[in-house]
Amino acid sequence: MWEYSEKVQEHFFNPRNAGPLNEANAVGEVGSISCGDALRLMLKVDPESERIVAASFQTFGCGSAIASSSALTEMIKGMTLDEALKVSNQDIADYLDGLPPEKMHCSVMGREALEAAVANYRGEEWKDDHEEGALICKCFAIDAVMIEDTVRANNLSTVQDVINYTKAGGGCAACHEGIEEILAKVLAERGESFKPAQATSPVAASGKLSTLERVKRIQQVIEQVRPMLQRDRGDIELVDIDGKTIYVSMKGACAGCQMEALTLQGVQQQMMDALGEFVKLVPVRATTPAGACVTPGA
């Protein structure tokens, strides 16, 4: 069975605000065709202040779809519509102490229902611009459509490119076959053929690098991964190098979270590829208390 947090289970077993809301004046109905889940979000909005005075939901879906719906209604009650629209799907997941990667789409559905309800209230038509595909990278919850679009938009041609642009494949690496298949397909459309990179970069044997070259390569890897962490409101910095141990500090959104370990694993692997030797990446926490997950905007 899925590893659901206590909070997810609690919201599933005792959903808040479930059932029809007769005096609703903002209704959003969205579904995810691939997963079959569907959600109707009903809001009662005070026309004067545009404040949400009541919210309720009806959901056809799995445990985390029901929990995400329940959480969403709790989160947005009392907010103005503009405030509510700032609630991201990540916020819904964070509120529930995280969702399994396969289930992140449940939080996306919640966010979309919210957009649809607000559009409905404002007399606009809401259109979904997000498409869902089969989950490829389980470490970072990234699906095939996202990878394919990114490969196309940026003319990517290697697995490493995909890791750098989307993070997919940067964790346990088990999905590289799936990523290669997507690359092969898109490259074929461009009239090129997929060439697997040389079994990771040509590396110097252990101990052959000069100290300067070694530090340079370590810094290079850090610089390479920073953009993708920053996109997730995080960051990484080099603190110290002591033989085979490299100390880094993780910052921002995800310091101490479960994703940190995965990210570190991925970065450590890249370090090893770049250096051609075994190294260990150790996070140090100077500023953030250990285990604290900083909620953005909180």
Pick the stretch among 59-67, 160-168, 201-209, 252-260 that binds another protein (CB under 8 A): 59-67
Least distance from C-beta 184 to another protein, angstroms?
A: 10
Q: Is 94 in the site for another protein (CB under 8 A)?
A: no
| ∠ Cα 29 30 32 (to 5°) | 155
Pairing of strands 280-283, 142-143: unpaired
Structure tokens of 241? Answer: 């190098």
Of the candidates 7, 10, 18, 80, which one interacts with another protein according to CB under 8 A? 18
- The binder of another protein chosen from 86, 122, 130, 185 (CB under 8 A): 130
The count of residues interacting with another protein (CB under 8 A) is 45
CA 42, 47, 52: angle at the middle one, nearest 5?
40
Of residues 7, 50, 51, 62, which one binds another protein by CB under 8 A?
62
- 111 neighbors 117 (Cβ within 8 angstroms): no
User: How many other β-carbons are positioned within 10 Å of the β-carbon of residue 103?
Assistant: 24
| Residue selected from 5, 10, 35, 230 as contacting another protein according to rule CB under 8 A | 35
Stretch that binds another protein, among 27-35, 84-92, 190-198, 275-283 (CB under 8 A): 27-35
Concerning whether 106 is annotated as a catalytic residue, the answer is: yes
* Binding test (CB under 8 A) with another protein, winner from 14, 36, 174, 185: 36
Look at residue 71 and give its three-state secondary structure: helix
- Residue 34 binds another protein, judged by CB under 8 A: yes
Instruction: Take residue 96 and report the two structure tokens written for it.
Output: 């529930």
- In degrees and rounded to multiples of 5, residue 234 shows phi and psi of -125, -175
Strand partners, 38: 31, 60
Residue from 10, 50, 74, 132 binding another protein (CB under 8 A): 132
The conformation of residue 129, written as its DSSP 8-state character, comes to -
DSSP state of 289: P
Give the footprint of another protein on residues 64-83 (CB under 8 A).
Answer: 64-66
> Rounded to the nearest 10 degrees, what angle do helices 159-166 and 176-189 cross at?
100
Whether the CB-CB separation of 248 and 284 falls below 8 Å is answered with: yes
Q: Is 217 in the site for another protein (CB under 8 A)?
A: no
- Backbone region of residue 190 per phi and psi (left: phi > 0; alpha: psi in -120 to 50; beta: other values): alpha
Pick the closer one to another protein by CB: 122 or 208: 122
Is position 127 an interface residue for another protein (rule: CB under 8 A)? yes
Paired with 121 in beta bridges are none
- 142 binds another protein, rule: CB under 8 A: no
Residue 30 beta carbon to another protein: minimum distance, rounded to whole angstroms: 5
Residues binding another protein (CB under 8 A): 1, 9, 12-13, 15, 18-19, 29-40, 57-66, 102-103, 105, 108-109, 112, 116, 126-128, 130-135
List residues with catalytic annotation: 35, 106
